[in-house]
Amino acid sequence: MKKYIGVLIGALTLGSGCSSDQDFLNVKPTTILLLDDVYSDSRLVLSAVTDLYNRIPDLVKPSNMGLYASFDEAFASGDYGRHQNREYSYDDWGYWDYGYIREINLFIQRVEAATKLTPADKARFSAEGRYLRANAYFELVKRHGGVPLITEPLTYDYSGDATPLRKARAKESEIYDYVISEMEAIKSILPNTPGEKSRATYGLAVATKARAALYAGSIAKYGVNTPSVSLPNGEVGIPASKATAYYQTALAASQELINSGLYSLYQKRPDLSDNFAALFLDKANNPEVIFVEDFKLKSGKVHGFALDNQPRAITEEGERGGRLNPSLNLVQSYEKLDNTFAPLPINKGNANDYIYYDKQEDLFAGRDARLRGTALVPGATFKDRSIDIWAGLILGDGSILSGDKLGQLKTVNGASVQVVGLSGPIEGYDGSAQGGFYMRKYNDPAVGSGQIGTQSEVWQVRYRYAEVLLNAAEAAFELGNNALAASYMKPVRDRAGLVIPLTAGDITFDRIVHERKVELAFENHELWDYKRWRIAHIVWDGSTSDLTTQPGKATEPSTRVFSLWPYKVYNPGGANNNKWVFRKVLSGRVTQSHIFRLGNYYSRISDAIVNNNPLIVRNPNQ
Amino acid sequence: MTMKTFSFPALALLLLGLAACDKDNFEPPKSTFAGRIVYKGEPLLMQSANVATGNVSDFPVFIELWQQAYNNRSSIRVPVAQDGSFTSLLFDGDYKLIVPNGQGPFLWKRTAANNPDSLTLNLRGSQQMDIEVTPYYMVRSPQFTVSGRKVAGSVKLEKVITDAVNGKTVERVSLYVNKSQFVDAGNSILAANLAGSAITDLNTVNLTTADVPALVPSQSYVYVRIGLKITGVEDMIYTPVQKVTLQ
């Protein structure tokens, strides 16, 4: 018997070996997840949609906020080229990522075809995909006008002929209509959770709808002022007859969100300026913020805004900090508490006929609290330390003594005295407060945020409730209901300490523009707003105009950034010793005036894109 | 630097590199295409193309050449200088020349489909070609006078396109002053503006600037030019640059 056992085992081994031949090479990979795996587990689908969220195309992100200095909100302390270009390139602000849109289309298709997900998960993921897709089209239409509207993943059949994949540009209004209708369709599918800030929610869909309708309405209304910014088939430009309907949609959507009571203005701090700054920093039960790009320390997703913008006097990282300086153009736009506008009172007509202040910050007293919530003014503290912004000493004979190193000491009449602030400003000294101010909005006060190894986790706010109120106010104004507009502006202005209410008669186009300018500064609005109102070519008109004396007027040219430099009076024994004076300065680094040409209203679609798809028509005036 | 710092292998490599150039490189373009933008033979004067050349979309006024030999087409942008001339160094070949939409203070012929019409350019060696266009206005007989440090100028505006469809009104007339001979809306130290609504007679348009500021380094003369901004047209049309001496 024994001798057969070996044979039997051999035979069995061979037999079983043969039967599993086909599966032998079919080993599940352990390092990658296949499509079926991903779309059968809601946690993995969440990872997939997170990737799509991460790729939302914002024009300005915390890591590249220098772009604000290309217009008139800030001086770039270091990146001086921004003030030395006259023209904006036609290619600027372009975006053309149909790869992203294709991936979203595939995502939606796969979620809807998935069999192992719960119906609730499928509905939510699919709606999130639709939000991201509509948001990408919103970005495209803001930049390029009407674009090909692709809502299915296109597949090439390798036939050698790609022409079936070519789609012509849709009308500009059709893209806006698409965004509006998508938001309407998905708003009730998305969760109604105002505490959810980094995923699409009901509130976000309604807020996006309001913003898109407002943009479309203003392009329709103000497009008549720039008739050459249009294309005959409507790829660029929206007929004026559509304006009212869009404004009505914008107002209705804003009201829907306002009346839902889901969000409210952030009012947690007693000091109004601190409160305004905290609105962007407070991640715990923030009632105002609707949608953000979030960051988290030690997760790999951090940004260097605080690293690049910490005041130089208190920098935590050697020579870093102070790059973006709010401009005097912006700072003087914050109105006085009696709702009037005036340049900052720094002299009595002549630049050397100073007005003397006991404390630096006194110059900014009696103004909109958002000023000191947005900018760190001379005399302010940050991280509980003095930021020490002053440009030099004014001696008894009126001459100016300054230095070329931060906080430099010099000997005056035998005494060693500091002649310039620890944050500057010093002309041409990178990172010194050459604009006269530092950033407070978005600037992280946490200890360590200024270190390369730590950085900041302040989130970037994309949508917040105050904008919804201002959208409602603008739409109401454009529909002729000024009283309603004033009532929507009131809570935003109350929070800024402007408690004297505006009446219906006060509401003008200038007011609407101004309120957005000061409330939403450095929040990725100015360029889009000026484009849709068709005032970009008037404000940035290329003229070498001086700083306006009418900061409340929307169409005043603002082609160059001006700075405000404080000086300390050094005249021991004199009446004004140790008092502060200010000078308006045009930096020598600002050598050109910005001109926004008609061809800049819609970014260029590159020759490469047109070559691939000759159905694409080019944008006007380029 | 002494010869010692060159080692023999480095020298050999250098020589090899120089010799290699012969075979690798294309012939450079050698044909010059030049000309002027003219109206009835008279050049139209525009803003200078003196911006950085890195970004070709940044010329104030340009024309486009499209070479037809290749599938992937990309325009060659030819800037127009402030005296209305242009010049470009090209390979021989067949080109189409167009004036893109919205370029220049003039009208360019359009096709039935309302696209810019094209001119065929068969370049075989250098070629000179004036391009005839129809300006909205001509700025005629400029005269400048100086009193103290103020510059006064006068021009006559001749409305060339008068029909209701294409005719445009005057937005403003500006007198620009600059230290160098590049004078226009983008290059000026001083400007005087006169709104179109304030002009009663197109044949007598007078402007006077404020005092010319102190010039550093000091110079006793400035260059001046009057420009006309047409409503809804971005590019301005100018008078010739003139040098005037301050008193």
**Interface check A543 vs B, CB under 8 A:** yes
User: Which neighbouring-strand residues pair with B86?
Assistant: B35
- Decide the pairing of beta strands B127-128 and B85-90: unpaired
Compute φ and ψ for B67, nearest 5 degrees: -85, 135
Contact A86 B101 (CB under 8 A): no
Q: What is the pLDDT of residue B114?
A: 73
- Which two three-digit tokens encode residue B63? 């024309």
Q: What is the pLDDT of residue B52?
A: 45
pLDDT category of residue A431 using cuts at 50, 70 and 90: very high
The C-alpha angle with vertex B193 and arms to B204 and B212, in degrees rounded to 5, equals: 105
Q: Could you say which of A593, A598, A607 has the minimum Cβ distance to residue B102? A: A598
H helix count then E strand count, chain B = 1, 19
**Which residue in chain B is spatially nearest to A613 when comparing CA positions?**
B72
Which helix (H) or strand (E) covers residue A563, if one does?
A: strand A563-570
pLDDT tens-digit readout, A39-97 = 999 999 999 999 999 999 999 999 888 899 999 999 999 999 899 888 888 899 999 99
pLDDT category of residue B55 using cuts at 50, 70 and 90: very low
**Interface check A91 vs B, CB under 8 A:** yes
- At position B204, the amino acid (one-letter code) is T
* Nearest CA-CA partner of A229 in B102, B62, B88: B102
Number of inter-chain CB pairs under 8 A, A vs B: 55
Which helix (H) or strand (E) covers residue A123, if one does?
A: helix A119-144
**Which residue in chain B is spatially nearest to A596 when comparing CA positions?**
B234
- Which two three-digit tokens encode residue A496? 């800024």
Alpha helices in A364-407 (DSSP H): 369-374
* Chain B residues with CB-CB distance to A608 below 8 A: 72, 74
Is the pLDDT score of B57 beyond 50?
no
Mutate to test the interface with B, among A597, A616, A617, A619 (most CBs of B within 10 A): A597
Q: What is the pLDDT of residue A391?
A: 96
How does A353-382 read in b/e, with b if 16+ C-beta sit within 10 Å? ebeebeebeebbeebbbbbbbbbbbbbbeb
Contact A597 B100 (CB under 8 A): no
CA dist A538 and A350 (Å) reads: 29
Q: What is the pLDDT of residue B9?
A: 64
Interface of B with A (CB under 8 A): 51, 55, 57-58, 60, 71-75, 100-103, 114, 185-186, 188-189, 191, 232-234
**Interface check A595 vs B, CB under 8 A:** yes
- Which two three-digit tokens encode residue A190? 């998305």
CA dist A137 and A145 (Å) reads: 10
Q: Is A78 left (phi over 0), alpha (psi -120 to 50) or beta?
A: left
Contact A599 B58 (CB under 8 A): no
Contact B114 A232 (CB under 8 A): yes
CA dist A595 and A541 (Å) reads: 5
Read off the pLDDT of each residue in A320-340 and give the average, rounded to a whole number. Answer: 95
* Nearest CA-CA partner of A339 in A210, A131, A543, A503: A503
Is the pLDDT score of B25 beyond 90?
no
Read off the pLDDT of each residue in A213-239 and give the average, rounded to a whole number. Answer: 94
Contact B188 A593 (CB under 8 A): no
**Closest Cα in chain B, distance from residue A595 (Å):** 9
Packing angle of the helix pair A465-478, A202-222 (nearest 10 deg) = 40
Read off the pLDDT of each residue in A536-540 and give the average, rounded to a whole number. Answer: 94
* Chain A residues with CB-CB distance to B102 below 8 A: 228, 598-599, 620-622
Taking the C-alpha atoms of A205, A207, A210 and A211 in order, what is their torsion angle to the nearest 10 degrees? -110
**Closest Cα in chain B, distance from residue A296 (Å):** 38
Contact A228 B232 (CB under 8 A): yes
Asked if the B31-134 domain carries CATH number 1.10.10.60, the reply is no
Q: Which residues contact A47 (CB under 8 A, 6 or more apart)?
A: A38
CA dist A483 and B8 (Å) reads: 87
DSSP A525: -
* Chain B residues with CB-CB distance to A232 below 8 A: 114
Read off the pLDDT of each residue in A17-25 and give the average, rounded to a whole number. Answer: 62
Domain segments of chain B as ranges: 31-134, 136-245
Q: What is the pLDDT of residue B184?
A: 84
Q: What is the pLDDT of residue B1?
A: 41
CA dist A444 and A278 (Å) reads: 10
User: Which neighbouring-strand residues pair with B234?
Assistant: none
**Interface check A63 vs B, CB under 8 A:** no
Which helix (H) or strand (E) covers residue A307, if one does?
A: helix A305-309
pLDDT category of residue B22 using cuts at 50, 70 and 90: low
* Nearest CA-CA partner of A340 in A511, A534, A592, A181: A511
Read off the pLDDT of each residue in A477-484 and give the average, rounded to a whole number. Answer: 96
- Which two three-digit tokens encode residue A511? 């007011």
Compute φ and ψ for B180, nearest 5 degrees: -105, 175
Read off the pLDDT of each residue in B104-128 and give the average, rounded to a whole number. Answer: 86
* Chain B residues with CB-CB distance to A86 below 8 A: 51, 186
* DSSP-derived secondary structure for A321-342: ---EEE-HHHHTTSPBTTS---
Burial class (CB in 10 A: 0-12, 13-18, 19+), B26: exposed
- Which two three-digit tokens encode residue A563? 């700075």
CA dist A230 and A397 (Å) reads: 60
**Closest Cα in chain A, distance from residue B223 (Å):** 17
**Closest Cα in chain A, distance from residue B10 (Å):** 39
Q: What is the pLDDT of residue A2?
A: 58
* Chain B residues with CB-CB distance to A597 below 8 A: 234
Among A97-106, A613-622, B95-104, B151-160, where is mean pLDDT lowest? B95-104
* Nearest CA-CA partner of B227 in B153, B150, B175: B175
Q: What is the pLDDT of residue B18?
A: 58
Q: Find out whether A584 and A563 touch, Cβ atoms under 8 Å.
A: yes
Read off the pLDDT of each residue in A17-43 and give the average, rounded to a whole number. Answer: 79
Domain segments of chain A as ranges: 74-90+295-458+561-591
How does A294-333 read in b/e, with b if 16+ C-beta sit within 10 Å? bbeeeeeebbbbbbbbbbbbbbbbeebbbbbbbbbbbbbb
pLDDT tens-digit readout, A295-321 = 999 999 999 999 999 999 999 998 999
Q: Which of residues 221-250 of A touch B (CB under 8 A)?
A: 226-228, 232
pLDDT tens-digit readout, A365-405 = 999 999 999 999 999 999 999 999 999 999 989 899 999 99
pLDDT category of residue B2 using cuts at 50, 70 and 90: very low
pLDDT tens-digit readout, B193-220 = 999 999 999 899 999 999 988 888 889 9
Burial class (CB in 10 A: 0-12, 13-18, 19+), A78: buried
Among residues of chain A, what percentage have pLDDT more than 90? Answer: 84
Q: Could you say which of B51, B57, B233 has the minimum Cβ distance to residue A604? A: B57
Q: In residues, how long is chain B?
A: 247
Is the pLDDT score of B163 beyond 90?
no
CA dist B198 and B202 (Å) reads: 10
Q: What is the pLDDT of residue B56?
A: 44
CA dist A487 and A502 (Å) reads: 8
Is the pLDDT score of B32 beyond 50?
yes
When mean pLDDT is compared over A81-90, A478-487, B58-67, B88-97, the highest value belongs to: A478-487
pLDDT category of residue A6 using cuts at 50, 70 and 90: low
CA dist B95 and A112 (Å) reads: 51
Among A40-54, A483-497, A504-518, B163-177, where is mean pLDDT lowest? B163-177
Q: What is the pLDDT of residue A9?
A: 64
Q: What is the pLDDT of residue A16?
A: 56
A59, A60, A76, B61 from A64: Cα distances, Å: 9, 6, 12, 31
Q: What is the pLDDT of residue A458?
A: 96
First to last CA, chain B: 53
**Interface check A89 vs B, CB under 8 A:** yes
Secondary structure (3-state) at A385: strand
DSSP A195: T
Instruction: Give Cα A349 distance to the centre of its chain.
Output: 37
Is the pLDDT score of A21 beyond 80?
no
Mutate to test the interface with A, among B59, B229, B234, B236 (most CBs of A within 10 A): B234
Compute φ and ψ for A116, nearest 5 degrees: -100, 0
Q: What is the pLDDT of residue A135?
A: 97
Domain B136-245 adopts which CATH fold?
Immunoglobulin-like (2.60.40)
- Which two three-digit tokens encode residue A207? 């807020």
pLDDT tens-digit readout, A556-603 = 999 999 999 999 999 998 899 999 999 999 999 998 889 899 999 999
**Closest Cα in chain B, distance from residue A59 (Å):** 21
pLDDT category of residue B6 using cuts at 50, 70 and 90: low
